[in-house]
Structure 1
């Protein structure tokens, strides 16, 4: 099997899809660090940012800016959003396929953020998390449609 993001892109694995265009798919992270943790995933299998086509690199920041507006309009990350690309395995890139994280933050969330960073891959609480992700996906898709 190829990488998880290629499998999601081809429809072989499920995802909470928010948006798709010719260069990217936007999904919720299944191991979120904060509520509404969004991933912008390249349609190209590009392990590093430098492997991404010029057209996709040009589109990335425009799409990311639109998504920050959608997150804020939905009540997430009003005061701040981390934009993160882990470019290579030494940079903590778990899946060798370019993806940008949008992680909404709020004042005073650092202890919970750090705790989640340590425990995010543990199996407890998955059912409740899946229900939350479904609600967040519906809310964000609705805001994306409204803001278009």
Structure 2
């Protein structure tokens, strides 16, 4: 496991130092509404431990990305978007649009999501 970073916004949310609209909490994950939603449902799912991106979380080999995917399914059901469909997005690196370097999946749904995404 990795430590929490004092300069990381998402680590501060995990620690309760920064408020967030929490949707669901698990032992290893926390999910909250995005402050700049791009769809009617836009929830961020993050691990409580700090990993800078999806690649580092996956390389840890501890099933964390599987857990994030399970949480996404549970949240989609609770939000009423599981049957109509939803999208999970992981931006990895600045060129992909990652601005907070704590791995996080964007759960998006509640409207049509065209392809390609942009």
Same fold (TM over 0.5): yes
What pairs up with 1:120-135 in 2 under 5 angstroms?
A: none
Which structure has more helix as a fraction of its residues? Answer: 1
TM-score, normalization: structure 2?
0.78
Structure 2 unmatched ranges of 5 or more:
1-5
Aligned residue pairs total 108
Structure showing the higher strand proportion among its residues? 2
Task: Indicate how the Cα distance of structure 1 residues 86 and 57 shifts in structure 2: closer, same or farther if over 3 A, else same.
Answer: same
- Report the Cα offset of residue 26 of structure 1: 0.6
Q: Which position in structure 2 is the counterpart of 1:65?
A: 73
RMSD of Structure 2 on Structure 1 (CA): 2.3
Shift of residue 78, structure 1, vs aligned partner: 5.0
1:56 Cα deviation (Å)?
A: 1.6
Greater displacement, 98-107 / 50-59: 50-59
CA distance in 2, matches of 1:85, 1:33: 14
CA separation in 2, counterparts of 1:24 and 1:65?
13
Separation (CA, whole Å) in 1 of partners of 2:17 and 2:27: 18
Distance 1:61 1:83 in 2: 8
Give the distance between the partners of 1:49 and 1:98, measured in 2 at CA. Answer: 5
Q: Return 5+ residue gaps in structure 1 as ranges.
A: 115-148
